[in-house]
Structure 1
């Protein structure tokens, strides 16, 4: 199990956040971004970062449940304020008290930027009323969109550790389950979730997907009572979490017996799509071109219309982060991106295959963090002979 780490890159991350010289500061309300900038892991926290030219220091507003935790987790550059009647009113006091706006200020100097995608309307209304006209709330959709996109060394290490733990959990699952007893999908998913938690001490990155037989044709199937039978394709999509950073891996196995020709062909096509997209992923490449490379590979097998979702996405403190590797993406890959490559093909009523890997985009090449075999393997691993 990975041991606890104290993040050393937090001040540098805050310095990368561009605070406009023309406003009072920025309000960070998305919990993942608060954690990224402060190290705070509680479920209630909002961060204020003032304009450096106006004085004051960053302040985290949380509630009494997390008073001691915040004192332990945030670094000395961050102040902590405890809200007793909801964070918006306390934050209004923090903003008004931390920003020294000179008399005769230019228009807009009191503007408070926020991400409209991460603020409830009710909280907006309360905060706006508490701040008054001197601090107008200004939406900025780009404020946090790419804030966490470029991963530093500690983030890459955490994601890599999460992937190592994920792969170990799957190996333990395959070896410990008696597949001849035809366990139910839900039972297998529950066991996998326990192994993921035991491996890192943290909750899984998301609820594991275990989809067998015709259910494997449902990309985001919820594991149910169906029992895994010989001859089934069995799709696993799962991930562990380390220091809040998530893994996201998918592999497809054969429950038992020999694969049917259509299963081999389907798996081979997706394997080629995965390899094509991984080869295309490089700094400066258009994300939609990476997506296109996967679709072209499937098209050569007549399966382009059986691949509906995107080829990949960014990965970090949240499962889905920028960039988006899709047909409509206007982004390019850049050094420091950590992305998934997850093409799939799904035949309704029969079965589906998805093969997902995690890549780190470097300045000269992309490196895969996932190491599990990609070819079609039986669920029951072969016993090693000594």
Structure 2
């Protein structure tokens, strides 16, 4: 490998005021949706709202309770209360701790209003939801937060967009370097390990996936890198990403070991044109399904419609996959600050696949790509 990896400069940390504003925004959104409030268990929603990330997944109840007219309350096990008190958003919270042997659901029930309907974070354990249902006041109901408020984290502010841009740049740097390594005669897992090392070297604190699909394996969109030895003449799909400063990267490029055939070039050109048309369709007021349609129409016109077997894109932020989704039937309008992937593909079973993916963000007057590496088919050795 060439070059010297350099981590992106760390941005200023989010402040208590940032987390206080997010919680207030969530309460307003809940009220507008006719909800009494939100119940948020450990996971991406809790970390986004408060900055608190429990040290381990645990059977002990931890729950943020947000409701209009009440101060935010974090119900937390006593043995973890010290850590919770040091979270960046803690000064905006009231901590209510419970000790082993107590009923945490009974301790939480007084925070809920009779007859209220609460959105519960998607990561909440079923046992906790059942416990709350057993002890909650009469008439309390629950709904999934992801269904009730799917756009809660979708619109990024300026500080979040800076982190998204840094993540995209770090992934781009990794791709620029991986094209210089030898592919032929090495296993997919070897290339995946190289990619993971480059992602970390360029600033990723967490590597979530390194898909390396060579030859026929490239026709499986979520192929796990395996022991197949990459050979001359292989098309290789690379899809990789992780977290930089807590925000996600996710990019795909398709390379070829040696010179591609005319058919391989044609398929790649179709996908590249589909991706370009889909990105051009991004603008405020467009519907999510419009982005999917732009990509799908291009691929269908070229005769490969049945071989495009997934949605065109997904939202991204503190998690790799989150709303909004670029798929037929999704009429959610795009607004500035939304970030999502645009990743059409063509997959020919038993032969090869091609996918090209960039993360984009909606701007006031159009779109900005957060991945800027070449989308031409790169020849590797």
Q: Same fold (TM over 0.5)?
A: yes
Shifted more, 187-196 versus 31-40: the winner is 187-196
Q: Among residues 22, 38, 41, which one is paired with 1:29 in the alignment?
A: 41
Query: 1-side partners of 2:369 and 2:108: how far apart?
Result: 44
Per-residue Cα deviation, 1:85-133 (whole angstroms, up to 9, x for no partner):
49x943642552x67x8xxxxx63xx261327443332122223344x3
Query: 2-side partners of 1:365 and 1:23: how far apart?
Result: 33
Matched, 1:346 2:358: no
Aligned equivalent of 1:384: none
Q: Among residues 148, 151, 162, which one is paired with 1:146 in the alignment?
A: 151
Q: Among residues 228, 231, 250, which one is paired with 1:229 in the alignment?
A: 231
Structure 1 residue runs of 5 or longer lacking an equivalent are 102-106, 381-386
Query: 1-side partners of 2:321 and 2:228: how far apart?
Result: 29
Aligned residue runs from structure 1 range 20-169, under 5 A: 20=31, 25-29=37-41, 31-42=43-54, 43-44=56-57, 45-52=62-69, 55-59=70-74, 61=76, 64=79, 67-68=82-83, 70-85=85-100, 89-90=103-104, 92-94=106-108, 96=110, 108=115, 111=116, 113-115=118-120, 117-131=122-136, 133=137, 136-139=140-143, 141=145, 142-169=147-174
Contact 1:60 1:78 in 2 (8 A): no
Shifted more, 62-71 versus 284-293: the winner is 62-71
Aligned equivalent of 2:4: none
Query: 2-side partners of 1:377 and 1:84: how far apart?
Result: 58
How far 1:374 sits from its partner (Å)? 0.2
Query: 2-side partners of 1:33 and 1:231: how far apart?
Result: 45
How far 1:10 sits from its partner (Å)? 1.8
How far 1:230 sits from its partner (Å)? 1.3
Query: 1-side partners of 2:361 and 2:103: how far apart?
Result: 41
Query: 2-side partners of 1:50 and 1:92: how far apart?
Result: 18
Per-residue Cα deviation, 1:349-375 (whole angstroms, up to 9, x for no partner):
110100001111012111111111000
Contact 1:89 1:130 in 2 (8 A): no
Aligned equivalent of 1:104: none
Aligned equivalent of 1:383: none
Aligned residue runs from structure 1 range 1-386, under 5 A: 1-2=7-8, 3=10, 5-8=12-15, 9-17=18-26, 18=28, 19-20=30-31, 25-29=37-41, 31-42=43-54, 43-44=56-57, 45-52=62-69, 55-59=70-74, 61=76, 64=79, 67-68=82-83, 70-85=85-100, 89-90=103-104, 92-94=106-108, 96=110, 108=115, 111=116, 113-115=118-120, 117-131=122-136, 133=137, 136-139=140-143, 141=145, 142-175=147-180, 177-180=181-184, 182-200=185-203, 202-204=205-207, 206-255=208-257, 257-380=258-381
Contact 1:163 1:240 in 2 (8 A): no
How far 1:35 sits from its partner (Å)? 0.9
Q: TM-score, normalised by structure 1?
A: 0.85
Query: 2-side partners of 1:332 and 1:359: how far apart?
Result: 15
Query: 2-side partners of 1:326 and 1:138: how far apart?
Result: 27
Query: 2-side partners of 1:194 and 1:67: how far apart?
Result: 35
Contact 1:59 1:94 in 2 (8 A): no
Pair 248,285 (structure 1): closer, same or farther in 2 beyond 3 Å? same
Query: 2-side partners of 1:263 and 1:211: how far apart?
Result: 15
How far 1:167 sits from its partner (Å)? 1.6
For this pair of structures, how many residues does the alignment match? 363
How far 1:62 sits from its partner (Å)? 5.3
How far 1:63 sits from its partner (Å)? 6.5
Secondary structure at the residue paired with 1:250? strand
Secondary structure at the residue paired with 1:113? strand
Contact 1:71 1:80 in 2 (8 A): no
